[in-house]
């Protein structure tokens, strides 16, 4: 295995193109564990550590946010983001443990595409746009189109995720991330990321995304529609929860059976929606 330290994205892309089955390494907090366990043995690793500018997080005046793929989870966790984008920092705060977040990156977590991880559902809820750069230049991918399957993304082998852009959150928007796990810091048994736009107590738009309930973050137009234009009364929330529950195809593992995970979805959705709504009522 070779380890390369390119200093520019173009150089990194060229290295990926030149080495079959090469992988990018950023913080390495999942990848090195997999190397240690012998689950991966790539012929080459392209470290993004020395590529300039990937660790910047910028909050623009219009409320939009841009973050480089190498922004650490700790940096995201400690950033106060406007409106519904709070779902991102809240999810980042619940990734593993402080030392992991210090080095684990946002881009790394998204590219690892573990359906039980915390950041993917949060970034889908926030409707993030992911910038990928390959030999043919850059393209933008919506977060919900990015996660294709278990540990599989829409990135081509020679593409690198470089930046994540978040559109300005609408006025009155709130977000929350509610995670249920066996113990603190474990992967989620089920998690719920919520972004709501509220106007005088009425929910104008909703994005509810489940983690650990399918091979990729699970969002349903119908469930979001069930919340839209309601006062988030318990019937509406239960309807959304039931729709998600019907569509969920969770894995079964030592964290819980598929049936168990399905059963707790409505209750957790209700808690996540309530947490988000409470945020709109709390003094800013």
Partner 1 sequence: MTAAVAVVLAVNGEALSPLAGPGETLLDILRSRAELTGSKRGCNTGVCGACTVLVDGKAARSCLMLAADCAGREIVTIEGLDGDPHAALLREEMAGAGAVQCGYCTPGIIVALTDLFRGAAGPPDAGAVRHWLGGNICRCTGYVSIVEAAVKAGRRAVGSEPGMPGQ
Partner 2 sequence: MKGLPEAIGARLPRRDAADKLAGAARYTDDLSRPGMLHAAILGSPWPSARILGIDTAAARALPGVRAVLTGADLPDRRWGLFVYDETPLAAGVVRYVGEPVAAVAAADLATARAAAALIEVDYEELTPVLSIEAALEDGAVPVHREFGSYEKRPDLGFERVNEIARQEFSEGDVEAAWADCDVIVEGVYQVPSQSHVYLEPVSAIAEFDRAGKLTVRSANQSVNKVQATLSRALDLPMSKIRVVTPAVGGAFGGKSGVTVQPLVAHLARVTGRPVKLTLTREEDFMAMRRRHPAVVRVRTGAKADGTLIARDLDIVYDGGAYAEDSPAVLGFGLLMARGPYAIPHCRLRGRAVYTNRLRAAGFRGYGNPQVTFATEAQIDELADRLGLDPVELRLKNAVEAGGRWIGGQTITSCGLRACLTEARDTSGWAGKRRDGGIGAGGKRRGVGVSAFAHICGLLGTSATVRLLEDGTAALAHSAVDLGQGAEAALAQICAGALDIDVDRVDSAPADSGAAPYNWSTGGSRVTYMVGRAVMQAADAVRQQIARHAAETFECAPGDIEIRPGGRAGIVGVPERELSFGEISLRAHYRTGGPIIGSGALVYDGEAFDYKEAVIRNYPFERVGTYVFGAHVVEVEVDTVTGKVEILRAWAAHDVGRAINPTSVEGQILGGFVQGAGYALLEEMLWEDGQPVNPSMMDYKVFGALDLPLDIHPIIVEEPEPSGPFGAKGIGEPPLVGAAPAIANAVAHATGLRLRTIPMTPERVLDALAAAAER
Contacts to partner 1 by CB under 8 A: 1-3, 5, 25, 28-29, 32-33, 35-37, 45, 47, 49, 74, 96-100, 102-103, 184-185
Distance CA 26, CA 11 (A): 15
- 182 interface partner picked from partner 2, partner 1, none, CB below 5 to 8 A per type: partner 2
- 47 interface partner picked from partner 1, partner 2, none, CB below 5 to 8 A per type: partner 1
- 256 interface partner picked from partner 1, partner 2, none, CB below 5 to 8 A per type: partner 2
User: Beta-carbon neighbour count of residue 20 at 10 Å?
Assistant: 10
Interacting residue ranges for partner 2, rule: CB under 8 A:
33, 37, 180, 182-186, 189, 253-254, 256-257, 260, 263-264, 267-268, 271
Distance CA 72, CA 106 (A): 6
Minimum distance of partner 1 from residue 70's CB (angstroms): 13
Minimum distance of partner 1 from residue 97's CB (angstroms): 2
Q: Which is nearer to partner 1, 102 or 280 (CB)?
A: 102
Which residues, 6 or more positions from 144, have their beta carbon under 8 angstroms from its beta carbon?
Answer: 124, 127, 217, 219
Sign of CA dihedral 139, 144, 148, 151: positive
Q: Which is nearer to partner 2, 13 or 273 (CB)?
A: 273
Which residues, 6 or more positions from 270, have their beta carbon under 8 angstroms from its beta carbon?
Answer: 234, 237, 238, 241
What kind and span of H or E run contains 111? helix 106-112
Q: Which is nearer to partner 2, 146 or 177 (CB)?
A: 177
Minimum distance of partner 1 from residue 105's CB (angstroms): 12
- 17 interface partner picked from partner 2, partner 1, none, CB below 5 to 8 A per type: none
Q: Which is nearer to partner 2, 135 or 185 (CB)?
A: 185
- 45 interface partner picked from partner 1, partner 2, none, CB below 5 to 8 A per type: partner 1
- CA distances to 74, 247, 263 from 86, in Å: 14, 26, 27
Q: Which is nearer to partner 1, 99 or 148 (CB)?
A: 99
């Amino acid at each position: 295995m070779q380890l390369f330290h390119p200093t520019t994205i173009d150089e990194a892309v060229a290295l990926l193109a030149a080495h079959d089955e090469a992988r990018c390494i950023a913080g390495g907090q999942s990848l090195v564990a997999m190397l240690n366990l012998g689950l991966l043995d790539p012929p080459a690793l392209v470290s993004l550590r020395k590529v300039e500018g990937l660790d910047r997080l910028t909050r623009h005046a219009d409320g939009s946010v841009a973050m480089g793929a190498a922004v650490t989870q700790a940096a995201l966790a400690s950033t106060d983001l406007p409106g519904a984008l709070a779902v991102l920092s809240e999810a980042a705060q619940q990734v593993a443990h402080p030392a992991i977040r210090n080095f684990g990156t946002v881009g790394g977590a998204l590219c690892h595409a573990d359906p039980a991880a915390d950041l993917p559902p949060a970034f889908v809820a926030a409707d993030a746009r992911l910038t990928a750069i390959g030999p043919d230049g850059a393209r933008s991918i919506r977060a919900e189109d990015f996660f294709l399957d278990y540990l599989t993304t829409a990135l081509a082998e020679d593409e690198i995720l470089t930046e994540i852009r978040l559109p300005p959150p609408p006025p009155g928007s709130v977000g929350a991330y509610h995670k249920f796990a066996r113990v603190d810091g474990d992967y989620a048994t089920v998690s719920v990321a919520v972004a709501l736009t509220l106007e005088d107590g009425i929910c104008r738009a909703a994005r509810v995304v489940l983690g650990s309930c399918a091979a990729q973050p699970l969002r349903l137009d119908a469930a979001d529609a069930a919340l839209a234009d309601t006062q988030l009364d318990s019937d509406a929330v239960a309807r959304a929860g039931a729709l998600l529950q019907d569509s969920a195809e969770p894995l079964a593992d030592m964290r819980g059976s598929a049936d168990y995970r399905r059963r707790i979805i409505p209750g957790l959705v209700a808690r996540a929606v309530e947490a988000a709504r409470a945020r709109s009522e709390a003094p800013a």
